[in-house]
Structure 1
Amino acid sequence: MAATMRAWQAAANGEPADVMSLVETPVPTPGANQLLVRVRASALNFPDVLLVRGQYQVRPPLPFTPGVELCGEVVAVGAEVAGFAEGDRIIGTTALPFGALAEYALVEAADAFPAPAALDDVQASAMHIAYQTGWFSLHRRARLQPGETLLIHAGAGGVGSAAIQLGKAAGATVIAVVGGAAKAEVAAKLGADLVIDRREQDFIAAVKAATGGRGADVVFDPVGGDAYTGSAKCVAFEGRILVVGFAGGTVPTPGLNHALVKNYSIVGVHWGLYRQLDPALVVQAHETLCGLAADGVVQPLIGGVIGLAEAVDGLTRLGAGETVGRLVVRP
């Protein structure tokens, strides 16, 4: 194993292109409960952009290497780690400041999972965060039932595309909202029953028309802003709006009188909290998702594969909302 590695580092907070540089740096040493992992593939996530900007709920010490998710090979095991060995292929979330936009990364053993055999490295790198988030959102938080109508915002994005596949597998009627004709085509191929291009039509009216005026039983909203505001206008009686994230850049401030009058629930989804407070549920979900991958239900949407040198360009495109599915970096 090399003593040094190539890694992207953010030396300050700001836009990735302005503050990140590709450096030669020592390969990190795993702590007692950590794994050192050779990165095979790393899926870019919106939190990577927020981390570099200094806008995420976690603020790693500077300089740090972003890249919160990977598929890789274990090359060294911490003294107190059980259940993993050198050579194991794993997926999971990284231990910042040693993220996955590098040749090697650190992973807490508790955050590492056997890679699904049905998926190659690129697909596997894009499974963990998106599908865990989708699974906990739809099944744990919204209690989605067969026959219900599920409205998904950013349906061609990383988490939105996962939610379409999981929603269809759960027996829901899926309505996907996207921005642009190319993304509409992607959402339709993923299996959405109805695709609404928000640039061409009013999604509130379209959802009401599609549901006979009733509205959507469950709303999956990783966008915030206008997506949330509109969702509150087309959510059904006893509906649930899942607050998954704010990729649109605006955090909504909903009027609770409206939730009372229309009798719907506003449901927060913080998947990372399950990792801290009920990790056994994350393990169960991983096993379920691996089964769905083997059945061909879980098929991560890969929008492109790029080399390590192109990682910052990928983060810039992701931050601008120009990507489809997951962009994956292969060191």
Structure 2
Amino acid sequence: MKAWVCDRVGAIDHCHQVEVSTPSPKSHQILIEVHAAALNFPDVLKVLGKHQLSMTPPFILGQEGSGVVKEVGSSVVGFKPGDRVMFLCLSSLGALADFIAIDAHQVTKIPDSMSFELACCLPLTFGTAYLACIVHANIRASDEILILGAAGSLGLASMTLAKQIGCRVVCAVSSVERARFCRSRGADEVVIYEGAIETLEA
């Protein structure tokens, strides 16, 4: 199969598309034919050797993706060949390949109405938002929350989760355009901090 592999850390040009062996799933894993994959800032940091979780080359790039189940391990339940899924590589990478063998608990089914292109962008962003808002902040329907950088992917995911729970959401953004975008996505209030430092220093 084809895969994007980093053969040395330190620079982006150490990444190449090469032929590698198709993985075989272990008993607790699922083999997925990858239809779409996303690149994120942590991918770049790992290639540069600047991420807190170092990778030993050679390694296949890509932390999240989506595709179709081709094979399931003997102990896997709840999945079958043909299922449409998205996945998040928690302790490794590997999404930028034709196939990936990944632990079943890192895989989630997606509806037929969701495109692979959309699904591949959800696991890392919404997973991070869930950890921040639900696990750590423990937000409730009666809460009013402030989201900094709300027009970015993580901010938007956090706002979406908070609105679903029933929170009142205040978004802080850097421009009028971003403020309009956040209001269009359901923000209750928007604060524009463009020029705030200069104003405070004046």
> Shared topology, TM-score over 0.5?
yes
Deviation of 1:64 after TM superposition, in Å, equals: 0.7
Asked if 1:7 corresponds to 2:3, the answer is yes
**2:89 equivalent to 1:91:** no
Which residue identity is paired with 1:43? A
Letter in 1 for 2:3: A
- Give the corresponding residue for 1:44: 39
SS in structure 2 at match of 1:79: coil
Match among 152, 155, 161 for residue 160 of structure 1: 155
> Which amino acid in structure 1 is aligned with residue 10 of structure 2?
G
Q: Which residue of structure 2 aligns with residue 66 of structure 1? A: 61
- After the TM superposition, which residues 73-152 of structure 1 pair with which residues of structure 2 at under 5 Å, given as runs? 73-94=68-89, 99-152=94-147
SS at match of 2:163: helix
> What TM-score, normalized to structure 2?
0.83
Partners in 2 of 1:186 and 1:154 — Cα distance? 12
Match of 1:186 among 158, 181, 184: 181
Provide Cα deviations, 1:227-286, integer angstroms capped at 9, x if missing partner.
xxxxxxxxxxxxxxxxxxxxxxxxxxxxxxxxxxxxxxxxxxxxxxxxxxxxxxxxxxxx
- The answer to whether the 8 A contact 1:116-1:124 is kept is no
For residue 147 of structure 1, report the CA deviation from its aligned partner.
4.1
TM-aligned CA deviation for residue 197 of structure 1? 4.1
Moved more, 63-72 or 126-135: 126-135
What are the within-5 Å matches in structure 2 for residues 241-260 of structure 1? none
Q: CA deviation at 1:162?
A: 0.6
Q: Which amino acid aligns with 2:54?
A: R
**Deviation readout 1:118-166 (Å, 9 max, x if unpaired):** 5222222222232233233223321223343211122122221111111
SS in 1 for 2:158: helix
1:297 — aligned with what?
none
| Structure 1 residue 99: Cα displacement | 1.0
Structure 2 counterpart of 1:110, one-letter code = H
RMSD: 2.7
Aligned residues of 2:63 and 2:93 also touching (Cα < 8 A) = no
- Cα distance between partner residues in 2 of 1:118 and 1:134: 23
* Preserved contact between residue 84 and residue 112 of structure 2 (Cα < 8 Å): no
Structure 2 letter corresponding to 1:11: D
Query: What is the aligned-residue identity percentage?
Result: 32
1:132/1:96 CA distance change after superposition, 3 Å:
closer
Aligned residues: 200
CA contact (8 A) 1:138 1:144 kept: yes
Cα gap change, 1:189 to 1:113, in 2 (>3 Å)? same
Unaligned runs of 5+ in 2: none
Q: Which residue of 2 aligns with 1:27?
A: 22
| Deviation of the 1:116 alpha carbon | 3.7
